[in-house]
A and B are shown apart, each in its own frame.
Chain A
Amino acid sequence: MSGIRLTGVSKRYGRVQALDGIDLSAERGITGLLGPNGAGKTTLLRVLATVQAPDAGSVELLGHDPADAEQRRSIRRRLGYMPQEPGFYDNFTVFEFVDYIAILKQLTDRRKRHDEVREVLGLVELTAEARRKVRDLSGGMRRRLALAQALLDRPDLLLLDEPTSGLDPAQRLRFRELVSQLPNRPVVLLSTHQTEDIAAVCERVVVIAAGRVQFDGAPDALRQVAVGRVWISDRPNAQTLLSWRSGDGTLRHVGEPPSGADLVEPTIDDAYLLLSGSSGGAS
């Protein structure tokens, strides 16, 4: 009983259908969630984090049903959640913040808790900042701090919302290494815009647009979606879905080609644009 299973999950906010009949399963390993802003990724993560109940559909997390209060608590004991903007108490130091979350996670033994806090701070390389106030940290450091608290107590379900935003390339590499080498091999859901992160660490990627699953499979299979649909040429064309100027001066088009264009190998970005573009609302 180690995975997650969503069936027909829907959630509406006012007039917006944030999730529209989502079917999704995941087992141990890293699954990427790709999609434009407002596509429902964050809502999906919040449902998985037991922060938000869906309007319809069934949810099973780590073998438990979050609709039941007692089972919800069991799930939460094994859950690590990294929201996009966790929020912080004004005066907290880095150490105090993680310690507070550890208290919320019911790590009551002070010695063990402090060892655990130091451990996760070490994993995200914030050891030197342990006694700095959170409000004095840079954006990238705050992201790492948010990740650190999610890693407390080796969760079996790890939900990461835009984990690498604000991180420089070296830190991004370190993040990928960290996430791919978690010792207890949890179920990881990684919601991101960074297609390189997807390509590097995800065994599987799910594209969500307009509240629906547009694609569910391996990153390479995603790439395949765009095969035959990506072109380069010298001239622009109004009929393409999207085109932009590449580094070498040529124009890259996704969708219908202009006349005289050459077919090229697609990347995941191309496929993603194709899928999200066709359902309206590119990011």
Chain B
Amino acid sequence: MAVDNRDVIRAELANADDRDLLSLISEGRDDALSELYRRHMGWLVLRLSRRCPDSSLIDEVVQDTFMGVWRNARQFRGDGAVAAWIWGIGVRRLVDRLRRSSRPIGLENTIAPEPSAEDLVLQGVDHGDMAAALRALSPELQAVLRATVLDGLTTREASVLLGIPQGTVKSRLLRARRQLKEALA
């Protein structure tokens, strides 16, 4: 039997890189969106779930995110990773949702114990001094750093995400940076 043309298209999509998929998406190819979704929905769900424990809200945010990708694929500048661009869309959709629902989520509910130095070596995860310094911070200070530095949010957006006033975000940021500086000096 001849090769099903649909398999050929699927194989082409599987081999395309994320940028190519975005350009196909901007041409209206929803099968390219499907492939991008398959590649990125997993980490997006997991990473967003760390910011907000409400799993049905996360489902909606992921849905919103890929609709945003579908509508705005043309606006991807080509600078930086597609994944980072997707995260930018996703985390902002989360902030929007939280802002509208006025549901303060606060910090992660489960704060797991940090692994020991031996565990880190075993896992190959040790990132040296920075990691150690970060671990020395209190969870609240870690949270504001995570929201602004790692997630790329503004202090206003971070305040919505964390459910704390903007002023508190700013003061905690200052403390966090000061403590890191001292620890690394």
Interface of A with B (CB < 8 Å)? Answer: 122, 125, 127-128, 130-132, 173-174, 177
Q: Which residues from chain B contact A131 at a C-beta distance below 8 Å?
A: 27-30
B residues near A127, Cβ cutoff 8 Å = 6, 9, 31
State whether the Cβ of B150 lies closer than 8 Å to any Cβ in chain A.
Answer: no
**Contacts known (A130-B28, A130-B30, A132-B28); A125 close to B5, Cβ less than 8 A:** yes
Question: Could you tell me the distance between the alpha carbons of A132 and B30 in the complex, rounded to whole angstroms?
Answer: 12
User: Could you jot down 7 A-B contacts, CB within 8 Å?
Assistant: A127-B9, A128-B9, A128-B29, A131-B29, A131-B30, A132-B28, A174-B2
- Looking across the interface, which residue of chain B has its beta carbon closest to that of A129? B28
- Which residues from B are CB-within-8-Å of A122? 6
Q: How would residues 1 to 44 of chain B score, 1 for a CB under 8 Å from any chain A CB and 0 otherwise?
A: 11001100100000000000000000111110000000000000
Q: Which residues of B contact A (CB under 8 A)?
A: 1-2, 5-6, 9, 27-31
- Dominant secondary structure at the A interface: helix
The 8 A-B pairs at the shortest CB distance, nearest first, are namely A131-B28, A125-B5, A122-B6, A127-B31, A128-B29, A177-B2, A130-B30, A127-B9
Are B29's CB and A125's CB within 8 A?
A: no
- Enumerate chain A residues within 8 angstroms of B28, measured Cβ to Cβ: 130-132
Which A residue's beta carbon lies closest to that of B24?
Answer: A128
Bound-complex Cα distance A128 to B9 (A): 9
Find out whether the CB atom of B2 lies under 8 angstroms from the CB atom of A173.
yes
Complex formed: what's the CA distance from A41 to B31 in Å? 39
**Chain A residues in 8 Å Cβ range of B9:** 127-128
Q: Are B6 and A128 in contact (CB under 8 A)?
A: no
B180 to chain A, nearest CB (A): 49
Q: A130 contacts which chain B residues (CB < 8 A)? A: 28-30
Chain A residue at minimum C-beta to C-beta distance from B1: A177
Q: Quote the shortest CB–CB distance from B67 to chain A (angstroms).
A: 15
How far apart sit A14 and B2, CA to CA, in the bound complex (Å)? Answer: 48
Contacts of A132 in B (CB 8 A): 28
B138 to chain A, nearest CB (A): 48
Q: How far is the CB of B23 from chain A (nearest CB, A)?
A: 13
A86–B102 Cα distance when bound, in Å, is: 53
Residues of A close to B6: CB separation below 8 A: 122, 125, 127
* Max chain B C-beta neighbours (<10 A), residue from A127, A131, A132, A173: A127
Interface centre among B9, B27, B28, B31 (most CB of A within 10 A): B28
Closest residue on chain B to residue A124 by CB atoms = B5
Q: What residue in chain B is nearest A127 (Cβ atoms)?
A: B31
Task: Determine if B2 and A128 form an interchain contact, defined as CB atoms under 8 angstroms apart.
Answer: no
Q: What residues on B are CB-neighbors of A174 within 8 Å?
A: 2, 5
